[in-house]
């Protein structure tokens, strides 16, 4: 069923009383990719994720998870979706291992399967030595890692993570990025909501910006429309200015920690060609790289009414 894998949703709406939490969202995420969900507080991200996870019914709109409609095939959708909420919830008196085994049993794994899957996942999230600790004594970051393990217990095809990096220390963040990339590499549809845009840049293939309950933009991270901003540093910027001028490349000057020139480059090929031109022209280039993350730059470039 190749092309129906992934998430496709159209015209989603959900209100809570007078609050239109989601008021016309389209959201697509492809299998084998990490899709970032970005938006300010109250934009409707959690409400959207709950609807995709079939934990909240939309007032309007359609959802397909690997081609299945949660309103019709809820069990099929639940089998496919792993949900990592931003808090661990009400399980705190059980041990880490009991939580995973219990969750596995909910998903109808046999006792033996649930136990071996629990041990495998405790290792994956480096909680092996905390397996017999009550979840309530785990630190916030450890609880987040347990929550990820819980979401993965039934080998979902679709993973929805609400602020998964919140509370994680730097090493755990790096680890989480690796885990999510690996899952996407194995064909999983991975959706991550987060406010830490620089972090999303490292893992996301695509990004969907939402605001005020609506989708304001969806794009691939590798090929942003309009190109990427690059920054150049050199031992002497004067010959760089001259060569860029001859090549007709419009550039700006930036006074950061080190002075640098910045300009828009359409494709990776163009970036490589421009670097070669500059070096050949005798510019002593010391740095030549994208100036910032695509996601951050796009977000900051959105109109005030879109953020």
As measured in angstroms, the least distance from the Cβ of 44 to ligand ATP is 4
Q: How far apart are CA 190 and CA 183, in angstroms?
A: 8
Q: Which is nearer to ligand ATP, 16 or 106 (CB)?
A: 16
CB 63 within 8 A of CB 52: yes
Binding positions for ligand ATP, rule: CB under 6 A: 16, 19, 21, 39, 41-47
As measured in angstroms, the least distance from the Cβ of 15 to ligand ATP is 8
DSSP string for residues in 56-119: S--SEEEEEETTB-TTT-HHHHHHHEEEE-SS--S-TTSBHHHHHHHHHHHTT--HHHHHHHHH
Q: Which is nearer to ligand ATP, 161 or 283 (CB)?
A: 161
Containing 181, the helix (H) or strand (E) segment is helix 170-185
As measured in angstroms, the least distance from the Cβ of 21 to ligand ATP is 3
Q: Which is nearer to ligand ATP, 2 or 17 (CB)?
A: 17
Q: Which is nearer to ligand ATP, 266 or 300 (CB)?
A: 300
Q: Which is nearer to ligand ATP, 270 or 306 (CB)?
A: 306
Phi, psi of 231 (to 5 degrees): -125, 145
Tokens of 300: 């900051």
As measured in angstroms, the least distance from the Cβ of 204 to ligand ATP is 17
CB 254 within 8 A of CB 231: yes
Q: Give which of 162, 147, 158 is closest to 45, Cα–Cα.
A: 162
Q: Which is nearer to ligand ATP, 47 or 147 (CB)?
A: 47
Q: Which residues pair with 176 in a beta bridge?
A: none
As measured in angstroms, the least distance from the Cβ of 167 to ligand ATP is 14
As measured in angstroms, the least distance from the Cβ of 217 to ligand ATP is 16
**Would you call 191 helix, strand, or coil by DSSP?**
strand
As measured in angstroms, the least distance from the Cβ of 47 to ligand ATP is 3
Q: How far apart are CA 78 and CA 52, in angstroms?
A: 10
Q: Give which of 27, 31, 98, 88 is closest to 63, Cα–Cα.
A: 27
Q: Which is nearer to ligand ATP, 166 or 249 (CB)?
A: 166
As measured in angstroms, the least distance from the Cβ of 293 to ligand ATP is 19
Q: Which is nearer to ligand ATP, 118 or 210 (CB)?
A: 210
CB-based contacts of 24: which residues, under 8 Å, 6+ apart? 11, 12, 13, 213, 214, 215
């Amino acid at each position: 069923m190749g092309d129906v894998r992934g998430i496709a949703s159209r015209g989603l709406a959900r209100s809570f009383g007078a609050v239109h939490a989601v008021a016309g969202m389209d959201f697509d995420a492809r299998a084998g990719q990490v899709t970032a969900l970005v938006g300010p507080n109250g934009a409707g991200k959690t409400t959207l994720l709950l609807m995709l996870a079939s934990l909240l019914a939309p007032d309007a709109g359609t959802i397909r998870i690997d081609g299945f409609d949660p309103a019709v095939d809820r069990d099929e959708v639940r089998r496919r979706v792993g949900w990592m909420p931003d808090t661990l919830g009400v399980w705190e008196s059980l041990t880490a291992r009991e939580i995973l085994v219990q969750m596995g049993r909910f998903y109808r794994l046999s006792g033996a399967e649930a136990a071996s899957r629990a041990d495998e996942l405790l290792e994956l999230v480096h909680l092996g030595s905390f397996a017999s600790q009550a979840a309530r004594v785990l630190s916030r970051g450890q609880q987040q890692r347990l929550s990820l393990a819980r979401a993965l217990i039934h080998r979902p095809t679709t993973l929805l993570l609400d602020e998964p990096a919140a509370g994680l220390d730097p090493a755990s963040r790096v680890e989480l990025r690796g885990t999510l990339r690996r899952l996407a590499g194995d064909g999983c549809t991975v959706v991550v909501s987060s406010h830490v845009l620089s972090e999303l840049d490292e893992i996301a293939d695509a990004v969907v910006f939402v605001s005020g309950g609506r989708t304001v933009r969806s794009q691939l991270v590798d090929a942003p429309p309009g190109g990427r901003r690059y920054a150049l540093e050199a031992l002497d910027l004067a010959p760089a200015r001259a060569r860029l001028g001859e090549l007709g490349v419009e550039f700006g000057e930036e006074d950061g920690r080190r002075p640098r020139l910045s300009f828009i480059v359409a494709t990776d090929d163009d970036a490589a060609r421009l670097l070669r031109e500059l070096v050949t022209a005798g510019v002593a280039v010391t740095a030549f790289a994208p100036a910032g993350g695509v996601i951050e730059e796009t977000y900051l470039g959105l109109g005030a009414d879109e953020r």
